[in-house]
Structure 1
Amino acid sequence: MVRTTVFAVLLEQRGLTAYEAFRHAFREAAVQAAGAEREPRLARVMVSRATFDRWSAGRLKGVPRREAATILRHLFAMPAEHLFEDADTEDADTGTPAPDGGEVEFDGAQEIGAQTRLLTASNADPALVATVRTSLEGVIDRYEALGPRLLVGETRLLRTMLHTLLAGHQPPRARAELFHLAARTAGVLGYMAVNSSAPFATVDAYCTEAELLAREAGDRETQMWAAGTRSLGLYYTGRYTEADQAARAGVDLAPDSPQAIRLLVNGRARALARTGERRGAEAAIGRAMTLSERQTTLSEGMTSCIAFTPYSLARTLANAITARLALGDTQAVLDHAAEIDPLLNRSSSRWSRALVGLDVATALLHQPSPEIDHAMVLGRTALTAGATAPIRSVWQRAGELHQHAARWHTTPAVRDYADMLRSWRSQPQAAPQAAPAAHRL
């Protein structure tokens, strides 16, 4: 005898009545459950066709074994004992007379209960969502210590989990949180793609995904952050006018938002400075500083380059240094660097110390009286600071310093820097963290 269970109803609703479709969904849920429950063996659990047919027909005594029951809970966000309850039991007392004297039929009490559970259930268990959120925060916290190569796999797994959850059913409050997390995960992958020298098309695809998901969640801050990351990707491919346009589009979403600080100084100012637009670059720096002064909750010290929090003043000045260097304002570079030097020395951000050091070294070469030895010392120190897990910007700026010092190539200090740069680039850990396969969409 075939029983219509809640499980059978859910299979019909989700298009999983075919064994192959169910097996695929069950396999994805098994991977999620293995991570959420910290039980790796769950990822290896499979359901045979015979078992699936028995479950579908309601020919099950009790509930599936513990491992399968755990995976089913992640797949349908419902305890297994509820999944295999009857969904079509009739209740003899559910009819009431209709106005015209006929009989109005109602669902049975158990069916009503099953349908209610379906409407209010979510495949996004709160504990699972909390785990995803914590994992994403962990990626951000470890990013400057480990770099994209070691973290991109973990982040892509989070993205897959979130996409799977979003393909299921959740009440609106849970769905908004999932869209928010999925948007930020895509944004982080976009940032990693920039740092890894991945093709700009990959960067743009992740940023577009982040923007669309953030829009669904009503998350304007993440939309702006994604626009800033797109601008960064364009900047490092030399498309400076487009980089400015992308950053300006982000600012236009909310010109007075603290997120606009990053867009102005990292996006607009640096790109405009590269194109020689002095007035525009200076205006962008000035606007970023004004916005910073208006904030009362900016982080102290040097905020992480990949963080979603607004730029701290030190991070803003570090970006202003790069823009000022492109404008040829060497004294402003040195002044800003002196201002943030104590914060840099206390910062755990090796990349920030390396980048500021390379900018200052280049500025020293462009003074009326070039300080060649001092510049090369700073250059060598920067290579040491950024050697563990360097990113595209460190690699690029180290090469640019070498180019600027080329006219003094016979000077011992410049030769020493060139030798160290050559050796640094030959180390596997110092290569740009390009791993195109790791950034498949």
Structure 2
Amino acid sequence: MAPQAAPTLLKRLVDDAHQTYEVFAQDYQEAAREVAAQRQDRRIATATVSEITFRRWTSGKVQTLPQHPAPLILEHMYGHPARSLFQPAPEASLRALAVSTIEESELDMTARDAAAHAEDAASLTVPDISLDRLHDAILDIARTYNSTSPPEVHRKAKELLLDAQDKLERTQILRQREQLYLTAGQAAAMLSAVCFDLGALQPAVQHSRTAILYGQIIEHGPLQAYAHGALAFLAYWSGRPSDALNLVHTAQGFGGLGATARSRLAVIQARAHAHLGDREQAVRAVRDSLDTHHSDRDELHDDIGGEFGFTPERLAMSNATTFLLVGDATGAEEAATHALRLLDERPDGARPMLISSQASTDLARARLLRRELDGACEALEPVFDVPRDWRGAGVLERLAAARAQLTHPDFRTAAQASDLGERIEEFSAVSVSRNLGGSVHLALDT
């Protein structure tokens, strides 16, 4: 039979004070608030302790100090160094331990505790090669985003975020923590993008806010700008174009942004103005998005690129949607056609399905504005071949707008319009994504 672990000083103090778990937990929370006030750190004030943790602390089997802020709170409660609390209690009485006279042995113990704590902190690190692997992983996710199905992107980005968060708990090296916060923020940004494509607006918003917080911790301008731009994009999809404009203005104020980042923000700004019905400002923002005389780069939008970037075909596709919102069928058709032409120039297998399907749908919608039913059917034909997993919310909403256009009186007696409407409904019904709450933000006046 294994010998019973000697009672720790913490166990002796708890027993002598007749502290049940309930009393200990109450005293612990009160001490947490006092420590928070002393250190002016509000995060400490909310610290609590579970009964399982209480039992483990008093069992005599704890080998390392609990995580911050528990050592600070326990020292405040009992007046002894945290490390001493988890060591076997001295044979002397507690009254002897509590005398105010500072003896040499106590000074030695304090020095040993400080050295042990420093050694523990120094041991908290992760291999640099692991950080390189995480960096390669975010590169892969971002750059293969448009050639990977949304469910698969979600799985990869989620694993990467959890991995980065786990490693943040294991290192105290500032350089490593900064890199891990950046990777975590990038993974959260990718999760926001894919949640949108899967038709889940609220998780997309939350992930963007998470990315903003990680970017704020390390003062990373491009990451904060990207995430604010994503929030602006999500705002006008939620029917809040004024909020979208405010978010764009905030994003434009971050430092270190390259030309790609500014072009992306101008596209989002144009769409927000279009949702507000401000044609003049929308067209002006479209022009700003096409102003490519700047050559500045940043490490997120340009060096990593991919989903963080903003390719010419994506820019043209997005501007086509803006033209549709302001009722400019000619501008929309020209922009959508330009996007598809650029996509056709890509090598086999490198044509982003999400972008091409949205551009084709916008081309069809532009033609429906001019009552060109045959041309709209032709434009939508490749869209109906898109596999189920690739039918993102962006194309579903555009198709919903096209379906609404088919109810125009000019199409009422056209069998071709009825057939096209049914195909749109069947296509959308079996999509892995879902429409964003039946929104009508992209619907056109018919």
Q: Same fold (TM over 0.5)?
A: yes
Q: For residues 257 and 211 of structure 2, what CA distance do their matches in structure 1 show?
A: 21
In the alignment, is the contact (CA less than 8 A) between 1:357 and 1:378 conserved in 2?
A: yes
Q: For residues 298 and 166 of structure 1, what CA distance do their matches in structure 2 show?
A: 25
> How far does the alpha carbon of each residue in 1:154-173 deviate from its partner, in whole angstroms, 9 at most, with x for none?
32232223223223432111
Q: For residues 418 and 304 of structure 2, what CA distance do their matches in structure 1 show?
A: 33
Check 1:432–1:326 CA distance in 2 against 1; reply closer, same or farther (3 A cut): closer
Structure 2 residue aligned with 1:329? 328
Residues 247-262 of structure 1 mapped to structure 2, 5 A cutoff: 247-254=248-255, 257-258=258-259, 259-262=261-264
Q: For residues 369 and 217 of structure 2, what CA distance do their matches in structure 1 show?
A: 49
> How far does the alpha carbon of each residue in 1:342-398 deviate from its partner, in whole angstroms, 9 at most, with x for none?
32122421111111111111111223xx32111122123223236442111111101
Please tell me whether Structure 1 or Structure 2 has the larger radius of gyration of its CA atoms.
Answer: 2
Structure 1 residue aligned with 2:238? 237
Q: For residues 277 and 256 of structure 2, what CA distance do their matches in structure 1 show?
A: 24
Q: For residues 429 and 187 of structure 1, what CA distance do their matches in structure 2 show?
A: 21
Structure 2 residue aligned with 1:417? 420
In the alignment, is the contact (CA less than 8 A) between 1:240 and 1:275 conserved in 2?
A: yes
Structure 2 residue aligned with 1:157? 159
> How far does the alpha carbon of each residue in 1:311-333 deviate from its partner, in whole angstroms, 9 at most, with x for none?
22332222111111111222222
Check 1:397–1:154 CA distance in 2 against 1; reply closer, same or farther (3 A cut): same
C-alpha RMSD of matched pairs (Å): 4.0
- 2:400 is paired with a residue whose SS is helix
Counterpart of 2:427, as a letter, is W
Q: For residues 133 and 343 of structure 2, what CA distance do their matches in structure 1 show?
A: 32
In the alignment, is the contact (CA less than 8 A) between 1:379 and 1:417 conserved in 2?
A: no
Structure 2 residue aligned with 1:357? 360
In the alignment, is the contact (CA less than 8 A) between 2:222 and 2:298 conserved in 1?
A: no
Q: TM-score, normalised by structure 2?
A: 0.66
Q: For residues 304 and 149 of structure 2, what CA distance do their matches in structure 1 show?
A: 12
Q: CA deviation at 1:297?
A: 6.7
In the alignment, is the contact (CA less than 8 A) between 1:195 and 1:391 conserved in 2?
A: yes
Structure 1 residue aligned with 2:174? 172
Q: For residues 278 and 161 of structure 1, what CA distance do their matches in structure 2 show?
A: 45
Structure 2 residue aligned with 1:308? 308
Structure 1 residue aligned with 2:40? none
Q: 2:132 aligns with which of 118, 130, 133?
A: 130
Query: Which sections of structure 1, spanning at least 5 residues, go unmatched?
Result: 3-14, 25-49, 57-101, 435-441
Check 1:208–1:431 CA distance in 2 against 1; reply closer, same or farther (3 A cut): closer
> How far does the alpha carbon of each residue in 1:164-187 deviate from its partner, in whole angstroms, 9 at most, with x for none?
322343211111101111111111
Q: For residues 339 and 175 of structure 1, what CA distance do their matches in structure 2 show?
A: 43
Counterpart of 2:318, as a letter, is N
In the alignment, is the contact (CA less than 8 A) between 1:380 and 1:420 conserved in 2?
A: no
Q: For residues 116 and 19 of structure 1, what CA distance do their matches in structure 2 show?
A: 29
Query: Which sections of structure 2, spanning at least 5 residues, go unmatched?
Result: 6-46, 65-103, 438-446
Structure 1 residue aligned with 2:290? 289
Structure 1 residue aligned with 2:208? 207
Q: CA deviation at 1:144?
A: 2.7
Aligned-pair identity (%) = 16
Structure 1 residue aligned with 2:429? 426
> How far does the alpha carbon of each residue in 1:240-294 deviate from its partner, in whole angstroms, 9 at most, with x for none?
22222222221122496321211110x210111122111211221122222x332
Q: For residues 183 and 307 of structure 1, what CA distance do their matches in structure 2 show?
A: 14
Structure 1 residue aligned with 2:379? 378
Q: For residues 136 and 257 of structure 2, what CA distance do their matches in structure 1 show?
A: 29
Check 1:122–1:362 CA distance in 2 against 1; reply closer, same or farther (3 A cut): same
> How far does the alpha carbon of each residue in 1:167-216 deviate from its partner, in whole angstroms, 9 at most, with x for none?
3432111111011111111112222222222243x333222221121122
Check 1:141–1:313 CA distance in 2 against 1; reply closer, same or farther (3 A cut): closer
Q: For residues 236 and 268 of structure 1, what CA distance do their matches in structure 2 show?
A: 13
In the alignment, is the contact (CA less than 8 A) between 2:364 and 2:375 conserved in 1?
A: yes
Aligned length: 345
Residues 181-192 of structure 1 mapped to structure 2, 5 A cutoff: 181-192=183-194
In the alignment, is the contact (CA less than 8 A) between 1:254 and 1:260 conserved in 2?
A: no
Q: For residues 285 and 227 of structure 1, what CA distance do their matches in structure 2 show?
A: 19
In the alignment, is the contact (CA less than 8 A) between 1:379 and 1:398 conserved in 2?
A: no
Q: CA deviation at 1:411?
A: 1.9
Q: TM-score, normalised by structure 1?
A: 0.67
Q: For residues 282 and 293 of structure 2, what CA distance do their matches in structure 1 show?
A: 19
Q: CA deviation at 1:147?
A: 3.3
- 2:293 is paired with a residue whose SS is helix
Counterpart of 2:363, as a letter, is V
Check 1:209–1:281 CA distance in 2 against 1; reply closer, same or farther (3 A cut): same
Check 1:312–1:389 CA distance in 2 against 1; reply closer, same or farther (3 A cut): closer
In the alignment, is the contact (CA less than 8 A) between 1:250 and 1:260 conserved in 2?
A: no
> How far does the alpha carbon of each residue in 1:87-131 deviate from its partner, in whole angstroms, 9 at most, with x for none?
xxxxxxxxxxxxxxx9xx999xx9999776544444332232223
In the alignment, is the contact (CA less than 8 A) between 1:147 and 1:390 conserved in 2?
A: no
Residues 262-273 of structure 1 mapped to structure 2, 5 A cutoff: 262-265=264-267, 267-273=268-274
Q: CA deviation at 1:424?
A: 1.3
- 2:307 is paired with a residue whose SS is coil
Structure 2 residue aligned with 1:341? 340
- 1:170 is paired with a residue whose SS is coil
In the alignment, is the contact (CA less than 8 A) between 1:188 and 1:306 conserved in 2?
A: no
Check 1:157–1:340 CA distance in 2 against 1; reply closer, same or farther (3 A cut): closer
In the alignment, is the contact (CA less than 8 A) between 1:183 and 1:211 conserved in 2?
A: yes
